[in-house]
């Protein structure tokens, strides 16, 4: 069954603002925590010597350290969105979709948020 014919039908679904705010705050905090865990795990494995600086310069290490937290949280949200779509819980579907958009916007301004937090 095709859910939405146009964007106006998406707008007609009632919005659960409480779920959007709570899940956005929790998932952004979880993303920040995962960034912090990545740094400590990297430091725990490689230490702070010359080996660590050589490993940190590799392109895929930078990719893992920067994208792994957002991929984990984003895939969790996509999983929730797909489950809500299958169960036809459209209010939750809309709330999680808006939360995913907020998370993507927060990720694009990650540098500003990191300066504020730390």
Domain ranges of the chain: 17-117
d(CA 41, CA 50) in angstroms, rounded, equals 17
Say what the pLDDT of residue 77 is.
93
pTM for the full model? Answer: 0.75
Say what the pLDDT of residue 18 is.
93
Q: Is the Cβ–Cβ distance between 84 and 96 less than 8 Å?
A: yes
Q: What is the pLDDT of residues 46-87, one digit of tens each?
A: 777 777 778 778 878 878 878 888 889 999 999 999 999 899
Q: Is the Cβ–Cβ distance between 106 and 98 less than 8 Å?
A: no
d(CA 24, CA 110) in angstroms, rounded, equals 14
pLDDT value at 6 more than 60:
no
Contacts by residues 32-35 (CB-CB < 8 Å, ≥ 24 positions apart): 32/113, 32/114, 32/117, 34/68, 34/69, 34/72, 34/73, 35/65, 35/69, 35/114
Say what the pLDDT of residue 118 is.
67
Mean pLDDT of 85-104: 90
d(CA 15, CA 95) in angstroms, rounded, equals 7
H or E stretch at 47: none
Residue with the bigger pLDDT between 6 and 67: it is 67
């Amino acid at each position: 069954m095709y859910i939405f014919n146009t964007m106006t039908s998406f707008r007609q679904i009632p919005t659960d603002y409480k779920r959007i705010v709570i899940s956005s705050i929790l998932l952004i905090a979880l993303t920040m925590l995962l960034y912090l865990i990545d740094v400590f795990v990297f430091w725990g494995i490689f230490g702070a010597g010359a080996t660590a600086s050589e490993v940190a310069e590799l392109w895929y290490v930078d990719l893992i350290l920067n994208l792994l937290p957002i991929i984990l949280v984003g895939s969790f949200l996509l999983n929730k969105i797909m489950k809500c779509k299958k169960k036809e819980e459209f209010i939750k579907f809309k709330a999680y979709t808006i939360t995913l958009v907020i998370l993507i916007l927060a990720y694009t301004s990650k540098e500003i948020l990191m300066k504020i937090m730390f």
